[in-house]
Amino acid sequence: MKFTKIAAASVTALMVATPVLADLVFPSLSYRTGPYAAGGIPYADGFADYFTLLNERDGGIGGVAIQVPECETAYNTEKGVECYESTKGQGALVYNPLSTGITYQLIPKVTADNIPLYTPGYGRTSAANGKVFSNVFNFPANYWNAASLAVNHLLEINGGDIKGKKIALVYHNSAYGKEPIRTLEGLAEKHGFELLAIPVDHPGQEQKAQWLQIRREKPDNVLMWGWGVMNQVAIQEAANIRFPMENFIGVWWSGGDHDVTPAGDKSNGYKAVTFHGVGDDYPVFGDIQKYVVDSGKAAGAGDNIGKAIYNRGVYAAMLLAEAAKTAQEIHGTADITAAQMRDGMEALEITEERMVELGMGGFGPSFTVSCENHGGPGTGAIQQWDAAAGSWKLISDFGGSDMDVIQPLIDADSAAYASENNITERCN
């Protein structure tokens, strides 16, 4: 009797993936638990808060309310797949899983289901080639842009010559961390520096051996592709071996406020690449404070506004909202489907005027997405941590990356994917 009751309850509970239609659904595959929660929480908060702002201030997008159902993945690919399957039936318009591993799982699945996948600044870099990856978008910048931007910065501060320098790459030993190696090898050949790749295994709490190796090899610069708890540990370890912070450059995922604060003053001068603005000095954040946080509708505690990763969540949500709006205009319907959303993303055009209108003037680049190019302009800047002020400062202008090196790599990698999966090129 008791057992049958439990069994019946389990079956009903397993079936409660109730589809709610007639809303624009942007599922948030977030992670608020586990070793990567430090980055996952502000991103998910920013992503949700921007959509809440649109609901509260503008009544949604084109008059249709927005829903952001959350699903906890813990940065784990199996849970990510479960989340994808459980939210797919709710009319999901686009997925933004914030995990390169989950992205690799989802690329074939979303293509089969014709749902777009948006991976700004992460995921499979060669997805920038829209001719092969019809449903994957990674504008405005990707890992290989980041690698090139970091090297460009080193060129700039070294007067254009880094021949014979030794550059170490401390990376998360996963698909994410391995992504930039190929580009850095290409750049090493071009500029004549020596690349030293040092892997750190998941979750990255123990890095004594890696930093001992760095102390022994004495590289001129260290680049880092880290995420979650690995970032904080690496910066602390770098401080412990007295590695000069200004020679230490992280990718944008290693450039969160929570990454540098644990090391206190010792992290002063640490640099990171970024593809959007820093700080909370943009009108949109005032609106978020007013409409979302002050009215108690914030996704988190509301204390992350203006922090680097939170801003990135807001930026991603903004670009998706603009794409949804574009899709509504193209198809003449407010209630768009995932396939129409894909068309909207492919036709997205971001101008500086529009950014000013949105209260984010100068926050990110102006660009257009096309059928061939899903990767955007690939521009970025370098931010530096000021421990005394407790904030990031941009120390360079938004510049382009070395597409002479990156484009052939994108073409080669996407061609390999196309031949493995029998994909014929589109956009002809």
Partner 1 sequence: MFYREAGDFKTSYKDDNQTFPIRLDRMGYYIVMFVAFCVVPFFVNDYWVNSVFAPFLIYAIAALGLNILTGYAGQVSLGTGGFMAVGAYAVYKLMVAFPDVSIVIHVLLAGGITAVVGVLFGLPSLRIKGFYLAVATLAAQFFLVWVFNKVPWFYNYSASGQINAPERSVFGVIVTGPNTEAWAKYMICLVFVVVLAWVARNLTRGMMGRKWMGIRDMDIAAEIIGVNPLMAKLTAFAVSSFFVGVAGALFFAVYLGAAEAGESFGIAKSFLILFMIIIGGLGSIFGSFAGAAFMVLLPVLLKNVLVGGLGWPTDLAAHLEFMVVGGLIVIFLILEPHGLAQLWRLTKEKLRLWPFPH
Binding flags for partner 1, 202-231, as an x/- string (CB under 8 A) = x-----------------------------
- Tell which one of 23, 201, 343, 386 touches partner 1 (CB under 8 A): 201
- Tell which one of 92, 130, 132, 182 touches partner 1 (CB under 8 A): 182
Give me the least distance between CB of 183 and partner 1, in Å please. Answer: 9
CA distance 299 to 42: 9
274 binds partner 1 (CB under 8 A): no
Three-state SS at 221: strand
Q: Which part of the chain contacts partner 1 (CB under 8 A), choosing from 82-90, 242-250, 309-317, 365-373?
A: 82-90
Question: Taking a C-beta distance cutoff of 8 angstroms, is the pair 187, 405 a contact?
Answer: yes
Q: Which part of the chain contacts partner 1 (CB under 8 A), choosing from 53-61, 109-117, 311-319, 372-380?
A: 109-117
Count of residues in contact with partner 1, rule CB under 8 A: 52
Show the tokens assigned to 63.
Answer: 């008059």
Smaller CB separation from partner 1, 105 or 158: 105
- Tell which one of 52, 55, 119, 125 touches partner 1 (CB under 8 A): 125
Three-state SS at 363: coil
Task: Tell me, rounded to whole angstroms, the distance of Cα 165 from its chain centroid.
Answer: 30
Smaller CB separation from partner 1, 111 or 213: 111
CA distance 158 to 316: 33
105 binds partner 1 (CB under 8 A): yes
- Tell which one of 67, 173, 213, 261 touches partner 1 (CB under 8 A): 173
Show the tokens assigned to 107.
Answer: 């690329």
Output Rg (C-alpha) for the chain, integer angstroms: 21
Question: Taking a C-beta distance cutoff of 8 angstroms, is the pair 325, 344 a contact?
Answer: yes
| Burial grade of 300 (CB within 10 A; 0-12, 13-18, 19 or more) | middle
Three-state SS at 314: helix
Of 274, 300, 239, 237, residue with least CA distance to 392: 274
Binding flags for partner 1, 52-81, as an x/- string (CB under 8 A) = ------------------xxx-x-xxx--x
Smaller CB separation from partner 1, 147 or 284: 147
CA distance 113 to 187: 37
Question: Taking a C-beta distance cutoff of 8 angstroms, is the pair 73, 29 a contact?
Answer: yes
Smaller CB separation from partner 1, 46 or 364: 46
Smaller CB separation from partner 1, 92 or 381: 92
Give me the least distance between CB of 81 and partner 1, in Å please. Answer: 6
413 binds partner 1 (CB under 8 A): yes
Q: Position 326: which residue type?
A: T
Give me the least distance between CB of 55 and partner 1, in Å please. Answer: 18
421 binds partner 1 (CB under 8 A): yes
**Nearest 5°: phi and psi at 25?**
-105, 120
89 binds partner 1 (CB under 8 A): yes
Question: Taking a C-beta distance cutoff of 8 angstroms, is the pair 311, 288 a contact?
Answer: no
Show the tokens assigned to 333.
Answer: 């319907």
Smaller CB separation from partner 1, 227 or 248: 227
112 binds partner 1 (CB under 8 A): yes
What is the dihedral sign for C-alpha 69, 74, 75, 80? negative
Q: Which part of the chain contacts partner 1 (CB under 8 A), choosing from 58-66, 155-163, 197-205, 325-333?
A: 197-205
Q: Position 234: which residue type?
A: A
Of 2, 49, 41, 47, residue with least CA distance to 286: 49
Residues that bind partner 1 (CB under 8 A): 10, 13-14, 16-18, 30, 32-33, 37, 41, 70-72, 74, 76-78, 81-82, 85-86, 88-89, 100-101, 104-105, 108-109, 111-112, 124-126, 173-176, 178-179, 181-182, 199, 201-202, 409, 413, 416, 420-422
